[in-house]
Amino acid sequence: PAAGGGNFVDMSLRVVVEQATGTLFIFDPTHKHGTTRLCGAHNYTESFTFS
């Protein structure tokens, strides 16, 4: 879509996680993954990592 993009894509599971305000998602970093094209939008993220 014209205003879309920047969504998370998990290539191993063949799913797209669309952005939404106030949401959190967790993924397996060993899966092939990426994001869709941004089309002029800007996203700011905050990561909490631990082991």
46 within some domain: no
Burial level of 8, CB count in 10 A (0-12/13-18/19+)?
middle
Per-residue pLDDT, averaged over 14-42, amounts to 78
On whether the CB atoms of residues 6 and 38 are closer than 8 A, the answer is yes
Note whether residue 41 is domain-resident: no
pLDDT the model gives residue 3: 57
pLDDT at 5: 64
pLDDT confidence band for 41 (50 / 70 / 90): low
In a domain, 11, yes or no: yes
Q: What is the dihedral of CA 26, 48, 3, 18, to 10 degrees?
A: 10
Q: How many domains does the chain have?
A: 1
Q: Is residue 44 part of a domain?
A: no
**Domain carrying residue 18:** 1-28
Within a domain: 23:
yes
